[in-house]
Amino acid sequence: MAELLRALAGKPTCCSLRHLAFLLVTLVLVLFGGSALGPRPLDPGPSAHAGKRHAEAQPPRGCTVLFFRMLYPQPTVLTSSRKDVLVLTPWLAPIVWEGTFNIDILNEQFRLQNVTVGLTVFAIKKYVVFLKLFLETAEQHFMVGHRVHYYVFTDRPADVPSVALGEGRRLVVLEVPGAARWQDVSMRRMQMISDFCERRFQREVDFLICADADMRFRDHVGVEILSPLFGTLHPGFYRATRQAFSYERRPQSQAYIPWDQGDFYYMGALFGGSVAEVQRLTKSCHQAMMADRANGIEAVWHDESHLNRYLLDHKPTKVLSPEYLWDEQLLGRPAVMRKLRFVAVPKNHQQIRN
């Protein structure tokens, strides 16, 4: 620009004024841009401004936004969370005890995943009397703050009690035929759960928990149990050696486990995982029981024996401690049990008969 001014200054006077005016106009255009001289856009009005402000407030696509700061004690690498119990299996699956997890962190993780949890319970014939306590205590302690579908399998749908449910929780009654023996009810549930996993559970829930009806929730049972596949340590065998486990020991059975094999003894009253994994487990157990029946044999502890065979071959990704399955009437309250979460209901046999 200085060179241009010097060049103009050396030209004849008659043209200098004309060129000087042209130069000033050029300077204005260069310094302020054509937009300053162009027409102003029409004011779009307050609603458009509000929309613009809203759009500017949104995070860029693909960005992660944290809406809170969670404060909690720092984990200490050199200090075990529990020194009195085993907290990790040899295949690196956590064993869940009180003191081994922070439920606030876990709740937030599963809320971000937007999970829905299904809970199946079989109330066939006389066992319908346990439903009211089971459901009422589940509302107090089971997956509080998360969406839950209760699936009640029963041959007496009219006897299913009405229980007040919290927001995001629903009760689904599935009518199924009864059976002459409790053993048949126990074994047939594997087939029914497998069938319903394919028919509806896979479309309605993310995780499926399978529990016995003659139990009640006594303390918190939440998302800390959720995993692709979990089993629960039997309260009567958590201290025992594998030789003392009541596995099926006859080689003729599909549930057979030799004396020198076995990790833990799992109870059939509480197991679960993702819908896909539960379907694989229940389908495999049902097929094994059908093979046994064809060979004229019935495993010593029915579906529980087949569950133990399956979990030996397909290691669970999480193991629940006996806190999650306890009978205080029979076993008392050892110091190692800091909480009793899911417990057996004392049986009133007169009530059951009525």
Q: What is the DSSP letter of 19?
A: H
56 is annotated as contributing to ligand binding: no
Which amino acid, one-letter code, is at 331?
Answer: L
How would you classify residue 71: left for phi > 0, otherwise alpha for psi between -120 and 50, otherwise beta?
Answer: beta
User: How many Å apart are CA 211 and CA 120, to the nearest integer?
Assistant: 6
Is 304 annotated for ligand binding? yes
Does the annotation place 127 within a ligand binding site?
yes
Amino acid at 318: K
| H helical segments located in 201-273 | 202-204
> Which residues share a beta bridge with 217?
342
Is 327 flagged in the annotation as binding?
yes
214 in a labelled binding site: yes
**Cβ-based neighbour number of residue 352 at 10 Å:** 14
123 is an annotated ligand-binding site residue: yes
Torsion-angle region of 149 (φ positive above 0: left; ψ -120 to 50: alpha; else: beta): beta
Backbone Cα Rg of the chain: 34
212 known ligand binder: yes
- Residue from 298, 304, 323, 328 carrying the catalytic annotation: 304
The reply to whether 175 belongs to the active site is no
Sheet holding 116-123, edge to edge: 95-96, 318-320, 229-232, 270-274, 207-211, 116-123, 147-154, 169-175
What residues contact 256, with CB distance under 8 A and at least 6 apart? 247, 248, 249, 250, 309
Query: For residue 221, what are the β-bridge partners?
Result: 142
The answer to whether residues 346 and 329 touch, using CB atoms and an 8 Å cutoff, is yes
Inter-residue contact 164 to 139 (CB < 8 Å): yes
- Select from 141, 132, 121, 140 the least CA-distant residue to 223: 141
**How far is it, in rounded angstroms, from Cα 266 to Cα 260?**
17
Instruction: Please list, residue by residue across 60-87, b when 16 or more beta carbons sit within 10 angstroms of its beta carbon and e when fewer do.
Output: eeeeeeeeeeeeeeeeeeeeeeeeebeb
Residue stretches of the annotated binding site for Mn(2+): 212, 214
Catalytic residue numbers?
304
Q: Residues comprising the binding site?
A: 122-124, 127, 212-214, 234, 304, 327
* Residues of the binding site for UDP-N-acetyl-alpha-D-galactosamine: 122-124, 127, 212-214
